Amino acid sequence: MNQIDLAGQVAVITGGAQGLGFAMAKRIVASGAKVSLWDMDSGLLDEAVAELGGAAKAIVCDIADAAAVAEAHARAEKESGQVSIVVNSAGVAGANHTLDVYPLDEWRRVIDINLNGTFYVNRAAVPAMKERNYGRIVNIASIAGKEGNPNASAYSASKAGVIGLTKSLGKELAGYNIAVNCITPAAARTRIFDQITQQHIDYMLSKIPRNRFLEVDEAASMVAWLVSAENSFTTASVFDLSGGRATY
């Protein structure tokens, strides 16, 4: 494992108690930073903090609630220090239906968490980063946001929105020492698989030329560099983690 220097940094990681978020938290702590893990599952948060040790704090937060996000950010700065890194990993897959019968409440839920939640977290973190003229933000999108997955219109649309949001914000902050990027991973075997059908899981695997799912530590390796000071030029960009699936 290459050693990334994040000494003295403080990272907020949403969805940080599990899956991709927790893998990223482990890598970021191993690189010398402190982390504030945000998640809805208090039990998993307790387990995550116990494993990570004194460098980690936990905040129960619903990222679909803008006021709760602002409060969580203020608390993170008080408990852990000035937040210089944000990784938006919280998200849901949503139900699998064709668009013409997609449940309206489920559509709103997926958009609220995946897209609006990412917006709220970015919005809460950016003012302090601008004031300090430093920050690194990584938003977790998906290959579905580039290509669209059938029977997953809400998820695909929400992740396409995350890509657009990232590109827009990166350009807005280009005059500051703040990098805003996103990654577009193919599926990884995490608890999110519990939300989708086996048929859809098989479909996703069939589209990956490497013929396997993403390992969470592979995503963590890419994100560790993206949130480091070494990433001093690249912003408003999309990094592919699709095992060869992406066509652009």
Type of residue at 70: A
Type of residue at 199: Q
240 contacts 246 by C-beta, under 8 angstroms: yes
**Residue 67: which residues within 8 A CB-CB, separation 6 or more?**
none
Report the relative pairing of strands 135-140 and 34-39 from DSSP bridges.
unpaired
Distance CA(84)–CA(81), nearest Å, equals: 9
Residue 155 annotated as catalytic = yes
Mean pLDDT of the 217-222 span: 93
Question: Annotated catalytic residue: which of 102, 120, 134, 155?
Answer: 155
Pair of tokens at residue 132: 């300090």
pLDDT in tens, 47-101: 999 999 999 999 999 999 999 999 999 999 999 999 999 999 999 999 999 999 9
pLDDT in tens, 129-139: 999 999 999 99
Q: Nearest-CA neighbor of 157 among 102, 114, 198, 193?
A: 114
Domains of the chain: 10-241 (3.40.50.720)
pLDDT in tens, 32-50: 999 999 999 999 999 999 9
The H or E element containing residue 183 is strand 178-185
